[in-house]
Amino acid sequence: MQPELKIKIEQRENLLNRVRKMLISALHLNASPEELDPETTLFATGLALDSVDAVVIIVELEAEFNISISEEESMLALRTINSLVDLVLIKMKENETV
């Protein structure tokens, strides 16, 4: 495996674990980070979150990762844990280029 790819995979895994832990803490979920499947939907039949939970998630992501998330971005990202991680990666990369 190429060293650059290995670093990116490790970075994503670390970020995924941080997002999982943040979700458990912020939403008071009775689960371990490993129990939260990255493809679990956040609403409906997945974690069954509501609109208040959505606001909490965005506020916590912004605070945890020192990023700013627009309403439009949040609407796209609030699907799965993986989609949250994708958004955080994009926003962190944007912050690096500023």
47 Cβ neighbours under 8 A, 6+ residues apart: 27, 29, 40, 41
For the chain, domains (ranges, CATH) are: 3-97 (1.10.1200.10)
Average pLDDT over residues 74-93: 94
Give this prediction's pTM: 0.91
Whole-number pLDDT of residue 95: 84
Residue 93 DSSP symbol: H
pLDDT at 98: 59
Tens digit of each residue's pLDDT (9 = 90 or more) over 28-70: 999 999 999 999 999 988 899 999 999 999 999 999 999 999 9
Residue 96 has pLDDT above 90, yes or no: no
94, 96, 98, 56: which is closest to 78 by C-alpha?
56
